[in-house]
Amino acid sequence: MDAEQRSLRLVEGYKVILASNSPRRKELLGGLGIDFEVRTLQGIDESYPGNLKGEEIPVYISGKKAEAYLSTIAEDEMVITADTIVYDAGQVLGKPANREDAINMLRQLSGHAHDVITGVSIVTKQKTVQFASVSKVHFTTLTDEEITYYVDHFKPFDKAGAYGIQEWIGYVAVTRIEGSYFNVMGLPIQRLYTELKKFENT
């Protein structure tokens, strides 16, 4: 059995819904050969309790996203939600509010390692599975000229931590990654594949 046939059978009996407009997540999930549709809801509250730390935060947020969809899905539908954060020295770096915020985030990340954490929820009417994936990304020291060039040319305002690893900054700043590259893009696709394989058997 080839990989495409195997991946198509992973979710046999379910219509898969990706609850994200992210082009990167759509590309990554599509790479598994699974048929899916994109469905999004507006106005989901993505706040979280202040006592949560690290992996707990994106798992909690992905769970809130999944809960919002639960009442809208049919018995034969499966929703995949995800949330990605950049976590640096105990501080969450989300999507930058503006140009200045993006520049400040990249100045903070310059010259040391940070964690990129994605929380994923897989939800049907009958079952919920949640997990987190952590990748440690090492940045070289960036000049202000390099930081402003990236922000002005690539406008990373829709990206946690104000950068996309698949863009120019990934070429010039990232010296090493510990963990999944695709997790840094926004979806830990190998782990998701593994969890989908287990889903029907548990």
Provide the annotated active-site residues.
83
Reference 102, options 161, 36, 178, 32; nearest CA is 161
The torsion angles phi and psi of 100, rounded to 5 degrees, stand at -60, -40
Say which DSSP state 135 is in. Answer: E
Of 166, 158, 174, 156, nearest to 114 (Cα)? 174
Separation of alpha carbons 154 and 162, rounded Å: 10
Question: Which run of H or E residues covers position 11?
Answer: none
State which H helix or E strand residue 118 sits in. strand 113-123
